[in-house]
Structure 1
C-alpha cells in the first residue's frame, strides 16, 4: 500500500525528539526507535510488527534509507507501522473504473488511518495551539479522499449501468445506484473498514445524485418561476440527507444567484429612482410583487431563501437611494406584497428571522392590515410591534385577523345550507332507526341528490375543504398573533378568545384540525399547541382549542400507525411502539390536563409503557387480546383508586381525557391487529363471529359509556355541534352539564356503547377498504353515530372519506344559532315534505305514519324525537334490530287519524320544553293532567293540560284507544 503522504501537512515536532538526520520526519503511522545493544533490524521489526500493521527489516531499511544490516546502538530509526488492509476481490473482467475505485479506496483508508493514528498518538494536551491545525490537516486529507472515493465509485456504478442492457425507459436512479452499488460493496467485503467505506460511498453517491438531478432539472427550466416550482416539487421527494445537502450546496446558491434572484431584483439595479415613471416606490413594489409570486407556492425552505435575498436587495436599494438624496417608502401595494411574503415564510423559525429583518424596511403603515385581512399571517406586523411599533401596529394586526375571520362566515353559511336538510333529517328521524336503516336512508337520500345533480357530493366536499382551509389559515394567524410582545399580549389574547368564541370561526378551525390533523406537525402547529398547553390565557375557548390540537396530534402522530398494524410484521410492531411512545410528549400531556411534574405523570408514563404490551402479538387469539386490554384497563383503574384515596381527582377513568385516550389507542391497535392477524382487514369477509370478537375486544377496554359522550370527550365532535350540544354525555369534569338540559335528540340517535356496539359500522368500513382506524368506528360508532358522522369532518379525520355521503352533523348548531322563533319554525317547516317522509319511511313506519309524523306544526319540533325517547324509557334499544322492528310495527299499526291526534299532543309538549326531550319527565304514573280555563259565562272550565311525562303520554295513548307499546 506504500507509505502515507501528508500532501503538505506538517508533522508535529513534539511527536518525539527528532534527531539530526536527512531522513523525512515520521508520519502518524510511524514510530521513533533508538537502537539498543544487540538489536538488529529483524528484532526491531518483530517488536513492532502486528497482524494489522506487519513490519519487516526491509521496510525499516527502506524507510530510513540504509542498508538492511547497517544499524548501530544509539542510532535513530523510523519504524513504519502502517495499517494493512485486505486487497479487494479480483473482478473477473476488471474495468478502468474499478481500478480507479481501488486506488481511491487505498488512499482513503490510508488517510483515515493517518488521522486515527495522529489523534491517538498525539502526546501533548489537545488544547495546545498546534493540535487543531495539525488535526485539521489530516482531517482535510480524509475528507478529500472520501469525496474522491465517492466520485470514483459513482463513476464505476455509472459505467456498470451503461454496460448492461435494460428495459426501455429504465433510468439511472436511486434503485439503480443501490443495485449496482451492491456489487461494488461486495468487492471490499474482505476488509471491514473497506466494506464500511464502500457502503458509505455508495450511499453518499446516491444522495449526491439526488441533489445533482434536482438542481439540473431546476436549471433546465425556462424561467425563474419554473425553476422555483421544479425545486419545490422535487425537494420534498428527496431523502432527508439530500434535502439538507441541496440547500447548503454551492449549486443551490448558484441557481439562486444566477437564475432566480435576478428575476425579482432587476428592478432594483442601478439608480431607478432617478427616472421612475410611476414614482420612486415603483421599483421596490415591482420587485416585491415578483418575489411574492415566486414564494406563493414555493417550498417553505426555498421561500425563506428567496425572501432573505429579497430583503438584502431591498436594503441595498434603500441605502443607495438615501445616499443619493432620495427618501423612498414602499407604498400601499409594496407593503401589502411584503406582508404577504412575510406571512408565507413566517411559519418557520428561519422564516421568522427573515421577517424580523423586514421590519426595518420603510413600509406604509396606513394600509398594512390589508394583506392580513386577505389571509396572510400578521408576522410582519408582529415583528414591527416587537421593534417598537407600539399599540397602533398591534391593533392593526388584530383588526386584520378579525376581518379575515369574519370573511369565513359566508363559506360556513354556504356549507351549512348545502348540508342542512340531511343534517336535520338525521338529527330528528335518525333516532327511530337501527344503524342499517339509517345507513340505507342516507344512501337513498344521497342517490336521489346525485340523480338531480351528479356533482352534488363533490360540490359539498369542495365547500367543506374550502372552510377547512380557511380554518387552517385562521389558526396560522392566531399563532402569529400569540407572538406579540408581552406588553401587548393581553389585547391579542382578548381578540383571539373572541374569534374562538364565534361559532362560525370555531367551526372552521375545528373542521381544519379534523380534516387535516397533519397541521399539528407544522412548526406553527407545534408552537400553537405548546403555547396553549403551557401559557394560554384564553379561557374556556382556549381550553377547547387546546383539546382539539391534542386530538389532532393523537390522530396524526399516534393512531396513524394503527392504519396497517400487523402483529406478524416486526417492522409494524416497532412502528406501533414508537407511535405509542409519542403519547409521552410533555406538551400533549399538558394539553390533556396533567401536570408533567406530578406523581400522576410518572404513573402515566408507566401506563403508556404497559399499553405497548397490550398490542396484539403474532398468534394471539381474541381471548389473548381481550386479556391484555383488560389488564391495562384494570391497571388504570387501580392507579386512580390510589390517587383518589389520596384526595386527588380521577385522571385515568374512562370518562376522563387521559383515560379515554389510553383506552382508545389500545382499542385502535387491537382491532386492526386482530383483523390483520386474521387476514380480514382487506378481504371484506366478516362473519358474525368476527364482529362479536371485535365487540369483545372493545368491551375489554372498559369504554362502557355512551357513544355520544365518548365522541365529545375525545374531541371527535365539537361540543357546540348537534352531537355535542344534544348528547347526554356532554358533561364537565364536575359532572355538570356543559349545556344543561340538552339531552337526547342525538342521544337517542346514537344509543349506548354498552348496550349495542355498532360493529356493523366497523365491518362495513373494513370491507369498503377503510381499515383506517375502523377500531375507532367500533368504539364511537354506536347506533347511528357512525352513520350520522360518516362523510363529515369526523369521518375525514379518521380517513373514511364520504362512504355514506356528506353529512354536516356539526353544522346544525351553526345553522340555527341566533334564529328568531319565526325563523326557526320556518326552518323546521321546510322539512315537512315528501323527502322527509321518504327518509323516515326507512324506519319501517309505513307510508301513512311517516307522512303524519313529518308534520312539525306549532313551534317546529319533530314528534319523532319524543317517540324515540318514549321507546327508550320503555326499555327499547332502537339500535337493536329486534327492538326497533317491534317499535316500528307498533307505530305502523296505529290508526292514522288517532296517530295525528297523538302527534298534536306531542307538539304541545315539545313546545313547552323547547324541543328538548331531555326535559320530558320520566315519571311513569299514568294519568292525564288537567287545567282550568275561563269559560264564556265567567265560570272556570276543566280541560286537559299539555303532557309532560312518560305517564302522561301513556294516558293519552290509552284515552285515544290506541294499543300500548309492547314490552321490550
Structure 2
C-alpha cells in the first residue's frame, strides 16, 4: 500500500497519514532522488518544475499499487491525479513501478464528503482531509521566510476548502462534522485551525459541542411543550432527552461534568421546560447538585453566584448585605437582574433583614427597657444597610424585615398601645423611603408603614423641610383623613414651603451671587461680540478666576438642580393626592400655584428638568405641569418649558434618520408623534385635546416620505402652514396660527422632520449653498421665515462636540447639526421668550450671534448657554445687581476691560467703556441699541465689525465725553437701553441750533446750554436724533450703516 513522505524526503507517514517518523540518511537520499525524478518527468511533459506544498504531496508507490487505488486512497479523482503528474494514460491505465514517487493533489473536499462512510457515518476520507489541512497550516505556522507568504490568501483558500466540504455533506450531518473539524488538534497548525473556525461560523454552525446539544434539546423540549398530540407521553419524551444529555455528559472527563450540567441548566428554557427537567433528572441521577438558577445564561449566572459567594464570605449578615450592595452597584444590568431574582441572593437578604430586625423580633412591649428603643434600633439598622444600596435591593431588604416590624406593632397595640416607631425611628424611616421612593414595591412598603402609624412633630416636619419625599406623610394623612381633614394643608404644605424658601431659593441666590459679575459682563458687553468671541470671553474669565471658582460654579449649579428635583417630587406628590384626601386637593393646588409663582423656585425646577429630562417620563409630573403649574403665569411658562424638553428629547431624535433610514425611520417618526397625543402636551399648553390631536395629525401628514424631492417637501410645509392656520377650536380661536406659541412649536416639529430629511438627502457639505437654499425654502414655506437666519446661523456656530449635537448622534450624520440648531430654538423661542421682556441679559445673548437666540439657549458647550453659562433671569437677580451697583461701581475693573476687549475693541475704547454710570449702568448696551436703530445689524459680521471700528476710531476724550453723556441717559432710563427710541418729543432742543446753544446767565446763576452740557459730558440725549447731535458737538462722525 502506498505511503506518504515529506516533499524534502525527511519523514515517512504512517498508514493513517497523521504521524510521521524520521528516516535514515540513506533512505532520505533515495526519497529525494525519486521526488526529483517525478518532478523532472512532469516538467518535461510541460508541468510545474516544483511541488507546491500548499496543494500537493508526495506518495511512494509499493508493489501492487495502481493510480486508481492511489487516487481512491487519497480522495482525489483519477483524472486530477493523472493531470497533476502529466502522465499519458492508455485506456484509463498508466504504468507505475514500486518506489516511484507520485505527486498527489490534496484531498478533494467534495470527493471526501461524497465518499464512503465508516460505521459511525463519518466520511472515510475526513481524516485525510483534516491531515491535509493540518499540513498546510503547519507549513504556514513554521515558514522559513514569512515575508514571502500571503497569509490572507492562504487562509482564504483553506477556509474555502473547509466550506466546500461542509456544504457538500448532507445538511443533517454538517453540524457534527463541524464539531469534528474544530475539535481536531491544530496546535502546530494555527492558520488552518483559524480557517476551519471561520468557515464553520460563516455558515452559522456552532463550534461548541455543549452549545450544539443545548440547541438540540431546546428544540425537542419546545416541540414537546407545545405539542398538539393528545397522546404524547411527556415523561417518556423528557426521558429520551435525558438519555441524550447523559450520554453527552458522560463523554466528558468526570471533573467537568458537574460544571457542564450547571452551565446547561443556566440557559434559558422558558419555552422548553421538558429540556430543563431532563437536565435536572440527569443531575439527580449522577448525584450532581445544581445551584438555583434564573436561567439567564451561564456567564451571567456564574458572575452573579461569584458575587453572592463573595458576599457570604464577608462576615456576618450585615457585612454580607453591604458587600452584595457594593458589587451590585458595579454589576452589569444583566447580572443585576439575576441578583434580584436569585434564590441565593434572597437567602442572603433575608438573613440581613433578620439581623436588622432582631431587636423587634425579640420585642416584648410589657418588658421593654426603653419605649420605642427596639424599633429605633431596627430602623437604624435598616437605614445603615440601605445607605449605599441600590433602591431595588433596599426594597427587598425592607420587604423582608417589615413583617417582623408589623408583628411587633401588633403585640404593642395588644399589650400597651401607642406608637411603635418614635422620633428617631421615623427620621430613619423617612431617610429609607427617600432612598427607595419610585422603585417597584416601594409604594406598598409605604402603605404598610402608614398602617403601623406615627407622625412625630420633631422628625417628619424637619424631614419635609429638608426635601424628603412626601410618600409617607401623604399615606399617613390618607390613613388619618377622617380625624384630620386639614392634615395636608396644616402639617405638610407649610414644610414644603419652608423647603422652597429656605433651601431651594437660597441655592438659586447662592449661585446667582457667585455668577453675578459674569452675568453682568455678558448682559452688558455680550451684545458687541460674535458667538465665538463671547464664548472665548467667558472661557478666559473662568480661567482668570481659577479652578476653584469653576468648581464652586459647578457645585452651586448642581445644588440648584438637586434641590429643584426634590421640590418637584414634593409638588408632584401634592398635586396627585389619593382619593381619601380629595377634600384637600383644591387647597393643595392653590399652595402649589403660590410656590411656583416664585421666580427662584420656578428657575430651580426648570434647571432640574433640563439636567434630568427623565423626570418628565413620570405621568404624575406631567399632570402637575398640565394642571397645577398652569394656575399661575410663571407656572404656565414652566409647563411650556416642560413641553419643549419633551419635544427635544423624545420627538426630535426620532427624525435623525429620515430619508436615509427608509420606511423604518418614517415609522419611528410617526410613533413619536402619536405618543405626543397620549402625553399631556395639550394640557400643558392649555389647548383642548381634540384640537391638539388634529394639529398633530396635520404635522404627521407633512412627514417626508423616502425619496421625496425638495419641491415636494416645500409643498408639504406650505400645506402644513395652511392647515395649522385654518384650525379653529370649538370657540373659534385659531390656536395654531404662526404667531402663537403652540403654532410655532408644531411648525418647528414639522420643520425638524423635513429639514432632517433634506439634510440627509444632500450629497454636499452642510455649508454648501444648495443645501442651505433648500433648507431656507422649507423654512419659509412653513411660515417660519423669520427664523431662517437663526437656524442656519445656529448650524454654522454649533460645535460638533456640543451636547446639542451629540444628543442626536454622531456629528457626521447630515441631519444632526440641523436638529441641534432647531433644538436650541425650542428653548430660545418658546420658553425663553418669557424672560426676554425687560431682561437685558437674554437680550444681549440673543443679539450676540448669527445664530441669535439659538446660541443664547445652547451656546457651544452645553444645553444651558454660551460656554455652559446657566441663564439666571433678570427677575431673579436683577434687583440684587442694581442694589449692589448703586452702592459702588463694582464692575469698573481690569477684568471687565479684558472681557469687553474680546469684542475687538482696542485698549482705549475698552478702558473707556467699562466705566459705569452713577447708578451703576454700562454704556455698552445703549451704544449697541443706538447702532441697531441706525440700521446696523449686529448679528451680521460686517455690520458688527463697522460698529466696533467706529468705536475704536473715536478719540479718547471724545469717547469718554460720549460715555458720560450716555451715563446720564441710562440713569434717566433706569438702566433700560430699550427705552432709547429713534426720536423723542424733546428732539427740537437738540436739532434747533438756537435751543441747542441757548444758555442762561443771571447774577450768580448760570445755566449752561445743552451744547455746553454735551461737551462737558453732562448731557442726557434721549433719542437717536439727539445722540447724532451730541456726536457732532463732540466732533465724532455719525455712523452710517
TM-score (norm 1): 0.68
Q: Could you list the per-position Cα deviations for residues 304-349 of structure 1 after superposition, in whole angstroms to 9, with x for gaps in the alignment?
A: 3333333322111122344454755322111111222233334357
Match of 1:454 in 2: 547
CA distance in 2, matches of 1:160, 1:310: 46
C-alpha contact 2:469 2:570 (8 A) present in aligned 1: yes
Aligned residues of 2:695 and 2:724 also touching (Cα < 8 A): no
Identify which of 585, 590, 597 aligns with 1:494: 590
Contact 2:724 2:743 in 1 (8 A): no
Distance 1:257 1:488 in 2: 40
C-alpha change, 1:498 and 1:645, in structure 2 (3 Å) is closer
Query: Which residue in 2 is equivalent to 1:815?
Result: 877
Other structure's SS at 1:946 match: coil
Which residues in structure 2 correspond to 1:212-227 (within 5 Å)? 213-214=303-304, 217-218=307-308, 220-221=310-311, 222=314, 223-226=319-322
* Residue of structure 2 equivalent to 1:532: 625
1:960 aligns with 2:1034: yes
1:831 paired with 2:891, answer yes
Measure, in 2, the Cα distance between the counterparts of 1:461 and 1:432: 27
Partner of 1:304: 395
- Residue 775 of structure 1 corresponds to 818
Residue matched to 1:17? none
Which of 858, 876, 892 pairs up with 2:952?
A: 892
Residue 217 to residue 228, structure 1, CA distance change in 2 (3 Å): closer
Distance 2:879 2:922 in 1: 18
Q: In the alignment, is the contact (CA less than 8 A) between 1:791 and 1:802 conserved in 2? A: no
Instruction: Choose the corresponding residue for 2:733, options 629, 646, 649.
Output: 649
Contact conserved, 1:765 with 1:800, CA < 8 A, in 2? Answer: no
Question: What's the TM-score once normalised by structure 2's chain length?
Answer: 0.64
Report the counterpart of residue 403 of structure 1 in structure 2.
498
Per-residue deviation at 1:800?
A: 3.3
The question of 1:858 aligning with 2:906 is answered: no
1:340 aligns with 2:376: no
The separation in 1 between residues aligned to 2:1035 and 2:873, in whole angstroms, is: 41
Deviation, 1:632, is 4.0
Residue segments in structure 1 that go unaligned for 5+ positions in a row: 1-85, 119-137, 165-171, 186-202, 708-751
- Highest CA radius of gyration, 1 or 2? 2
1:719: which partner in 2? none
| Mapping 1:378-777, distance limit 5 Å | 378-389=470-481, 390=484, 391-392=486-487, 394-405=489-500, 406-449=502-545, 453-484=546-577, 485-521=581-617, 525-534=618-627, 538-561=631-654, 567-568=660-661, 574-596=667-689, 598=690, 600-611=691-702, 613-614=703-704, 617=706, 624=709, 626-627=710-711, 630-643=714-727, 648-669=732-753, 698-699=779-780, 701-705=782-786, 753=790, 757-762=793-798, 770=806, 772=808, 774-776=817-819
For 2:913 and 2:253, the matched residues in 1 are separated by 76
Larger displacement relative to structure 2 (215-224 or 688-697): 688-697
Give the superposition deviation at 1:364. Answer: 4.3
Task: Report how far residue 108 of structure 1 moved.
Answer: 4.6
**Distance verdict in 2 for CA 1:236–1:916, change over 3 Å:** farther
Distance 1:155-1:288 versus aligned 2 partners, 3 A rule: farther
User: Aligned equivalents of 2:400 and 2:1027: distance in 1?
Assistant: 77
CA contact (8 A) 1:761 1:777 kept: no
Q: What is the rounded CA distance, in whole Å, between the counterparts of 1:158 and 1:429 in structure 2?
A: 83
In 2, Cα distance between equivalents of 1:604 and 1:145: 60
Q: For the residues of structure 2 that align with 1:273 and 1:374, how far apart are their CA atoms?
A: 33
Whether contact under 8 Å (1:872, 1:878) holds in the other structure is: yes
For residues 594-652 of structure 1, what are the alpha-carbon distances to aligned partners after superposition, in whole Å with 9 as ceiling and x for unaligned?
Answer: 211x3x334223223224x237x4x77xxx4x546533432232123433598733333
Deviation at 1:459, TM superposition (A): 3.6
Q: Does structure 1 conserve the Cα–Cα contact (< 8 Å) formed by 2:727 and 2:734?
A: yes
Shift of 1:466: 2.2
CA contact (8 A) 2:308 2:324 kept: yes
Aligned pair partner of 1:109 in 204, 219, 223: 223
Q: Does structure 2 conserve the Cα–Cα contact (< 8 Å) formed by 1:97 and 1:156?
A: no
Counterpart Cα distance in 2 of 1:601 and 1:567: 29
Query: Cα distance 1:580–1:384, how it changes in 2: closer, same or farther (>3 A)?
Result: same
**Distance in 1 between residues matched to 2:456 and 2:928, nearest whole Å:** 60
- Any conservation in 2 of the 1:594–1:601 contact (CA below 8 Å)? yes
Instruction: Please give the secondary structure, in 1, of the residue aligned with 2:563.
Output: helix
Gap change, CA 1:823 and 1:601, over 3 Å in 2: closer
Q: Any idea what SS the aligned residue of 1:514 has?
A: helix
Residue 281 (structure 1) aligns with: 372
- CA deviations 1:21-55 (Å, max 9, x no partner) are xxxxxxxxxxxxxxxxxxxxxxxxxxxxxxxxxxx
Helix, strand or coil for the counterpart of 2:176? coil
C-alpha spacing 1:923/1:573, structure 2 compared with 1 (3 Å): same
1:737-793 deviations in whole A, cap 9, x for unaligned? xxxxxxxxxxxxxxx749x8343213665799747464355343865269998999x
Whether the 8 Å contact between 2:896 and 2:914 is mirrored in structure 1 is: yes
**Which range moved further: 697-706 or 765-774?**
765-774
- Quote the Cα distance in structure 1 between the aligned partners of 2:254 and 2:606: 55
**Alignment of 1:361 onto 2:452:** yes
Count of paired positions = 758
Aligned Cα root-mean-square deviation (Å): 4.7
| Gap change, CA 1:327 and 1:591, over 3 Å in 2 | closer
Paired position in structure 1 for 2:130: none
**For the residues of structure 2 that align with 1:512 and 1:147, how far apart are their CA atoms?**
60
Contact 1:433–1:843 (CA<8 Å) still a contact in 2?
Answer: yes
For 1:374, the equivalent position in structure 2 comes to 466
Q: Which runs of no fewer than 5 residues in structure 2 stay unpaired?
A: 1-170, 181-208, 257-261, 276-292, 809-815, 829-845, 1011-1018
* Cα distance change, pair 269–663 in 1 and its aligned pair in 2 (3 A): same
1:859-885 alpha-carbon deviations (Å, 9 max, x no partner): 122211111111111211111111111
Instruction: State the alpha-carbon separation in 1 of the partners of residues 541 and 764 from structure 2.
Output: 30
Cα offset, 1:545, TM superposition: 2.9
Asked if the contact 2:779–2:785 (Cα under 8 Å) also holds between the matched residues in 1, the reply is no
Are residues 1:917 and 2:1031 paired? no
- Give the whole-Å Cα distance in 1 for the aligned partners of 2:699 and 2:567: 34
Contact in 2 for aligned 1:433/1:879 (Cα 8 Å): no
How far off its partner does 1:414 sit? Answer: 2.7
Q: CA deviation at 1:955?
A: 1.9
The separation in 1 between residues aligned to 2:433 and 2:528, in whole angstroms, is: 54
- 1:591 is displaced (CA, Å) by 1.6
> RCO greater where, 1 or 2, for CA within 8 Å and sep 6 or more?
1
Where does residue 32 of structure 2 map in the other structure? none
Contact 1:518/1:552, CA 8 A, preserved across alignment: no
The residue number in structure 1 matching 2:156 is: none
Determine the C-alpha separation between the residues in 1 that align with 2:236 and 2:649: 43
Q: Is this contact kept in 1: 2:659–2:704, CA < 8 A?
A: no
Distance 1:378 1:204, change over 3 A: closer
Map of 1:3 onto structure 2:
none
Deviation at 1:548, TM superposition (A): 2.6
1:949 matched to 2:949 = no
The 1-side partners of 2:455 and 2:795 are apart by 61
For residues 675-703 of structure 1, give each alpha carbon's deviation from its aligned partner in whole angstroms, at most 9, with x where no partner exists. Answer: 6666899xxx9667766666666555543
